[in-house]
Amino acid sequence: MNATPVILNLINTKSIIIGGGAVAEKRARTLVEEGSQVKVISPGVTTGIKTMAVNKDLIWIRKSFSEKDLIGAFIVVIATNNATVNEEVLSAAKDHPLVNFTSDGERGNLQFPSLLTKGRLKIAISTGGASPKLAALIKKDLEKKYDDRYEQYIDFLYECRQFIKCSSWEQEVKSKLLSRLLDEEFLNVEKQKEMSRVLQQAVEGGAELERTYQ
Ligand SMILES: C[C@@]1(CC(=O)O)c2cc3[nH]c(cc4nc(cc5[nH]c(cc(n2)[C@H]1CCC(=O)O)[C@@](C)(CC(=O)O)[C@@H]5CCC(=O)O)C(CC(=O)O)=C4CCC(=O)O)c(CCC(=O)O)c3CC(=O)O
Ligand SMILES: NC(=O)C1=CN([C@@H]2O[C@H](COP(=O)(O)OP(=O)(O)OC[C@H]3O[C@@H](n4cnc5c(N)ncnc54)[C@H](O)[C@@H]3O)[C@@H](O)[C@H]2O)C=CC1
């Protein structure tokens, strides 16, 4: 299968999920988390979806699918347990930008990978429909290396890079410094604080960088 992983900004987009079972709930959680406005169309839903509706994280419309439910949707998730209904939704969704067909991934143009998130760090794993269980296993493996320390570390890298970008240092110094930040020692919060201080002083005071940090 030919497919390209991309990073999508879903804030304020409209997502319509047809079906309210376990798979619909997984998609709902991901889409709500990413800031999409989610509507679930289904006569019945899981308690998880019910709770999200009560908390106003999403809107649940308690009914069976009809074509006009898709109006305005950027993302359509097709997740009922009825193959005929799923086919009907698929053909009604043909002009919508992104379609996730959960019962046969390749028939839509949007798939959901296994996702490892540590703050700004996101690692998406797809096996192209070969083995979702392998994707989950790979995620578990990666979690051992990219542990909770990475959440803060990635924020630290982001902050440092903003300082470095707006400094007036030579390109070569900037590049060296950006590489230097990848040293394992900076997973340590104290080291991060020290480096942030030095960078801030150097950028704001227009001072030279201490040799040790180049
Ligand atoms: C195309 C895709 C869907 C999409 O993009 O919507 C898809 C499709 C299908 N999955 C099926 C079954 C299972 N899926 C899982 C689990 C996960 N499935 C996920 C993604 C994807 N699954 C996308 C491709 C990703 C890729 O290519 O790697 C994960 C990674 C993320 C997530 O779902 O959020 C999440 C685990 C990771 C995590 O937790 O991190 C399990 C295991 C379990 O539940 O424990 C089973 C049962 C075991 C088995 O069947 O292997 C079936 C058959 C349905 C049927 O028989 O009716 C289809 C339909 C088909 O075959 O196309
Ligand atoms: N992508 C993935 O990871 C996986 C995908 N699947 C596929 O996802 C689909 C859904 O699986 P589950 O959530 O486990 O099913 P489920 O049986 O838990 O839920 C199905 C939902 O569809 C709703 N529904 C039925 N007819 C409807 C209609 N006409 N209009 C609107 N909603 C309707 C039901 O009320 C129910 O909420 C299945 O087709 C299955 O093949 C299954 C497992 C994993």
Average pLDDT over residues 56-66: 98
- Give the number of whichever ligand sits closest to the CA of residue 85: 2
Query: CATH class for domain 14-112?
Result: alpha beta
Distance 103 CA to ligand 2 centre (A): 8
Distance 144 CA to ligand 2 centre (A): 32
- pLDDT of 165-202, one tens digit each? 888 889 999 999 999 999 999 999 999 999 999 888 88
Report pTM: 0.92
ipTM confidence score: 0.94
Rounded to whole angstroms, how far apart are CA atoms 51 and 44? 13
- Give the number of whichever ligand sits closest to the CA of residue 89: 2
Q: Answer yes or no: is the C-beta of 26 below 6 A from any ligand 1 atom.
A: yes
| Backbone dihedral region for residue 140 (phi beyond 0: left; psi -120 to 50: alpha; all else: beta) | alpha
Q: Is 48 exposed, middle or buried (0-12, 13-18, 19+ CB in 10 A)?
A: middle
What are the start and end residues of each CATH 3.40.50.720 domain in the chain?
14-112
Distance 132 CA to ligand 1 centre (A): 5
Distance 127 CA to ligand 1 centre (A): 10
Which atom of ligand 1 sits closest to the CA of residue 135?
Answer: 28
- pLDDT of 92-148, one tens digit each? 999 999 999 999 999 999 999 999 999 999 999 999 999 999 999 999 999 999 999
Cross-strand partners of 125: 114
